[in-house]
Structure 1
Amino acid sequence: MADDADRAQELGALYERALRVPVRALKARVASDAAAPAVCADCGDAIPPARRAAWPGARRCLSCQQQHEAR
């Protein structure tokens, strides 16, 4: 008969397996975001290094992103 410790261990293993796929997907997305171009997709200007450091997947400069979000 399983005791509480056995059930807790089984639940922990289930949670670990359930989290593996989303974590892999997130790692793949972060890797693809890091490969984002260094120029704005809208205006073609360079995306400043500070913006790229704050948001590695940025595809727009700050002003174009603000305009995009305002629409």
Structure 2
Amino acid sequence: MPIVVDVDVMLAKRKMSVGELAERVGITPANLAVLKNGRAKAVRFTTLAALCEALACQPGDLLRWEPEGPP
């Protein structure tokens, strides 16, 4: 998928565990793992906003686009 989720990068920068982030955001650690591992098909803006608030970052710090192959 061309959208890459960098939640793990921000977790490492903030020295925060998946469980702590899940608790702060109000989602289960399993659902956060789905997002973190790039298996999510969608993310709600409210969840994205909560992630940004908990990690003190911008949406662009968590999501980026990468082309899938040669143009």
TM-score grouping bracket, smaller chain normalisation: under 0.3
Q: Where is the strand percentage greater, Structure 1 or Structure 2?
A: 2
TM-score by length of 1: 0.26
Higher relative contact order (CA 8 A, sep 6+): 2
Over alpha carbons, which structure has the higher Rg? 1
Q: Name the TM-score, length of structure 2 as normaliser.
A: 0.26
